[in-house]
Chains A and B, each alone.
Chain A
């Protein structure tokens, strides 16, 4: 870490001995039983600390447009949003309010505004197609949705199938086209600012955020978090990302995903960080220019982006003054050793890989400021959180070093999800033998460093985002030409994995490049670009068990050049 600033976290072994989450509670001024509201902690509390005039958000859009907001601006605007929802629309505490927006200020402030009035905020990736949106809104029986003009057609498209959805709030309506029934304009920068708002008296276990995450089987599940999660998010942001008062922080993640909320909103602002948000497509020069212009000191990004930057090379880095950078961290998928070493060459410091997931709500295994990095390793467990690897069959902790098992966490850390929405059964299945099972496999070396091996299921991790094969296959089956389908992750040098689909065609259809393109676009528009198969292979048949279940692992093993394993249950020889 290139820094003159002493890290907040003590040397790891020392921190391990003394840490408890009581430290976080004390710093936040929270005692068990108190009212705790994430929106209040990220805005009002910071203003009461005398930092109302400090910049909270520096935002830049596609066209270079910039907006800046102080913590007091944010306090007032989140109040305005909260009041609008509660008093104008009649939204009740506990109802679900979806944020279906690009990375615009309304997304960030709307997230906190929803929490301030006691509703449950449901951030969704704005690139989701109508079918992906429908599944998640139906499951959550969402009451209201914030969106933009450009995404309005998608929302209108599915409205009749979501009877719970009563309010569509358009944040950038300019009056050029009439809004329809149930649609209302809300212009945050023109609305009357509310200085005082009775924040909902949420307590530790009051539901806060609903993040949808994909699994191997079935539809995406709503991981439900509570306001108490801030106890984890505050201190992990402080210790792992080392956010000091003078830092300028950039988390590149979209708040449609958990990184963008846990560390792009809650962790950042509970630590009173000035944070930057760039709402623009990826281009190396644009990103470096953004760092240079804003003198960003802490950068939290994803391996996919880092590998894409690596592909551009170090010559382009030299065109910019990135000397402000002092600490780098990565999230979403394992950061390969090559990328870690490249970052040392390119930026004079290494990216610190961090491991966690939607269900953990906060970083659980990480590389820490000041701790030796082993390039390619996930790092070590966060103090106060017990993490190990357990036997894949028995869920008993594996004592022997270097043996691969399932990453498992002792339940009870503050930001652990409390349930999957409407799916308690699946939630309970995540706990075996007293451990929460992450679904990822790893080993632990002699020094206590964790080494990622892979998912234990068929979920595809593409660009750091989990995509469920079932959702993709279901969408494929809706195409008139498709008889059967299987979706797997195929290795990719930038994204780690990309979706590959195997398809058998119905009679009367013939394979062709045109049909491949048609099917790709079909899935992209229904679900998202992430879920779009980057490659389609037309086959005569798919490997199945005798009971007719498609064996994705056989297809994946062939694609990855691995041993196929036990084929005794296969219907046909491959």
Chain B
């Protein structure tokens, strides 16, 4: 289930935040925020995606650049809300 979750998030990031010609490799550990793939303003849309997809509410205090900085980090965060 964790692998499926990672893949869903990874696919969303690739589809939404990489432009067509951007051939950078993005995997579960790729830095998303500190690596410039998802900037701090776009992070909100990623948060809304996760909340909508998994029917959870992520408090702003938890939605930090570190928590969102990789697919693996996001999966760790989601576990706090019972999403596996």
Cross-chain contact A280 with B36 (CB below 8 angstroms):
yes
Determine which of A152, A153, A280, A463 lies in contact with B41 in the assembled complex, contact meaning CB atoms within 8 Å.
A463
B44 with A532: CB separation less than 8 A: yes
CB < 8 Å: which of A462, A498, A532 contacts B45?
A: A532
Which B39-54 residues have a C-beta within 8 angstroms of A? 39-42, 44-45, 48-49, 51-52
Which of B1-9, B16-24, B76-84 forms part of the interface with chain A? Answer: B16-24
Contact B19 A150 (CB under 8 A): yes
Q: How far, in whole Å, are A530 and B41 apart by their CA atoms in the complex?
A: 6
Are B33 and A281 in contact, with the CB atoms below 8 A?
A: yes
Whole-angstrom distance between the Cβ of B16 and the nearest chain A Cβ: 6
Q: Are B23 and A149 in contact (CB-based, < 8 A)?
A: yes
Partner pick for A516 among B41, B48, B69, CB 8 A cutoff? B48
A462 CA / B41 CA spacing, docked (Å): 10
Looking at A205-213, A336-344, A434-442, A517-525, the stretch in contact with chain B turns out to be: A517-525
B34/A283 in contact, CB under 8 A = yes
Partner of A149, one of B21, B31, B41, B45: B21
Q: Which residues of B contact A279 (CB under 8 A)?
A: 36
Q: Is the CB of A154 within 8 A of B19?
A: yes
A529 lies within 8 A of B69 (CB): no
Shortest Cβ distance from B1 into chain A, in angstroms? Answer: 23
Known: A150-B22, A152-B21, A521-B16. A529 touches B42 (CB 8 A): yes
Give Cα A127 to B17, complex, Å: 11
Q: Are B33 and A532 in contact (CB under 8 A)?
A: no
Residue from A308, A514, A516 in contact with B40 in the complex, judged by beta carbons closer than 8 Å: A308
Q: Which residues of A contact B21 (CB under 8 A)?
A: 149-153, 177
Pick the residue among B24, B45, B48, B65 that contacts A282 (CB under 8 A): B65
A530–B66 CA distance with the chains assembled, in angstroms: 20
- Chosen A-B contacts, 11 in total, with CB atoms closer than 8 Å, are A62-B35, A102-B36, A127-B39, A281-B31, A283-B34, A283-B66, A308-B40, A462-B41, A463-B40, A529-B41, A532-B45
Chain B residues within 8 Å of A, Cβ to Cβ: 16, 19-24, 31, 33-37, 39-42, 44-45, 48-49, 51-52, 65-66, 69
A-B contacts besides A177-B21, A281-B37, A517-B49, 11 pairs, CB < 8 Å: A280-B36, A281-B31, A281-B39, A282-B65, A283-B65, A308-B40, A462-B41, A498-B41, A513-B51, A517-B45, A529-B41
Residues of A bordering B, CB below 8 Å:
62, 102, 127, 149-154, 177, 279-283, 286, 308, 462-463, 495, 498, 513-514, 516-517, 520-521, 524, 529-530, 532, 534
